[in-house]
Chain A
Amino acid sequence: MTENHSASGTQTQRHRLEGPQKHIIVFILSLVLTIIAFAAVAAGNVNKLFVIFLLLGMAIVQAFAQLAFWMHMKDRGHFFPIIAILGGVLVVIMLVALALLWTWW
């Protein structure tokens, strides 16, 4: 009980409540990136390869922003979460590369 109290006491000192501003900025960014992606496809008649790379870029930026801010991965004490997700992403990259090589070769 006393341990609990001293632990929460130190937390109060170094912790400041974060406001919603950053999260609303991430939301607006995500919305804008989504609209750009849909508009690029709806416009049509553009270079196919360019649109595919544009779409992937929009998705990766949006995913990165949401992981960092909404899922708090940018905060301290998130070393193992980063390792877990990076490990997963590494396997996904290999799986996707394998599937594409298998069908395109």
Chain B
Amino acid sequence: MSAHEHHAGALPPEPEKATLEGRNKILGFWLFLGAETVLFGTLFSAYLAFRNSVLDGPPPEELFQLPMTFIMTVALLVSSLTSVFAVQAMHRHKTGQMLGWMAVTIALGAVFLGLEIYEFNEYVHEGHRFTTSAFSSAFYSLVGFHGAHVAFGILWIGLLILQILKKGLTVVTAPKVYVSAIYWHFIDVVWVFIFTVVYLMGKV
């Protein structure tokens, strides 16, 4: 593949699907996301089973601050939209615009992650540690695992920006951008269920 010189004009409209390798990469990534769904499902089911087992620790309704969760939700939702814009810029072969939207996506992901770290730090000060109760362990496992996915996504998309600056947008690099965008959307969809099941239902 890399032997072929692909200039911007020669790139097909959907460069991520132009090669069999690219299409297989996307298909394989979807199978991975199916497995990720199950993984988050196990953490959700553990949380639902243990959410009332608070022992001496603070219960969810005392712990959670909805304005903070709302800001985090909006940051991640907007970053998911900018990630759509990055793929649309890629389909138009506008590499500069694509890299710009990817950078915005990373920045918003970093805002989300920073707020989550601040939030966890607050909880620890309120006596809600990982080993406090079955509720706290299940909470940190579920929300922390999602946060780790956001951190991995920031690292991944950041490295992709560097690679595309070096190699340009080709039929080899395009599937990577597409797959990273799908990953980022998936992380946002998982967060929809976390803020609903953990934060909002914890306050009902």
Contact = CB atoms under 8 A, between A and B. Distances in A.
B84 interface: yes
Contact of A30 (B4, B30, B77, B204): B77
Task: State which size class the interface on A falls in.
Answer: 35 or more
A73 B100 CA distance: 25
Contacts of B201: 52, 55
A63 B30 contact: no
| Dominant secondary structure of chain A at its interface with chain B | helix
A59 B196 contact: yes
Contacts of B84: 20, 23, 70
B196 A56 contact: yes
Nearest to A30: B77
B129 interface: no
Nearest to B199: A41
Contacts of A102: 49
Contact of B77 (A23, A27, A59, A92): A27
A69 to B, nearest CB: 8
Contacts of B37: 85, 88-89, 91-92
Main secondary structure of the interface of B (DSSP, over half): helix
B34 A88 contact: yes
Interface in A1-49: 1, 4, 7-8, 11-12, 15, 17-18, 20, 23-24, 27, 30-31, 34, 37-38, 41-42, 48
Given A27-B81, A84-B34, A85-B33, A12 B48 contact: no
Nearest to A11: B12
B48 A20 contact: no
B185 to A, nearest CB: 5
Given A71-B186, A103-B49, 16 more contacts: A7-B18, A18-B88, A37-B200, A38-B70, A55-B196, A58-B196, A59-B192, A62-B192, A66-B80, A66-B188, A81-B30, A85-B37, A88-B34, A89-B37, A95-B38, A103-B48
22 contacts: A8-B13, A12-B13, A15-B14, A17-B88, A20-B85, A23-B85, A27-B78, A30-B77, A30-B192, A34-B70, A34-B73, A34-B74, A52-B204, A55-B196, A55-B200, A63-B192, A66-B80, A67-B189, A87-B34, A88-B37, A99-B49, A103-B49
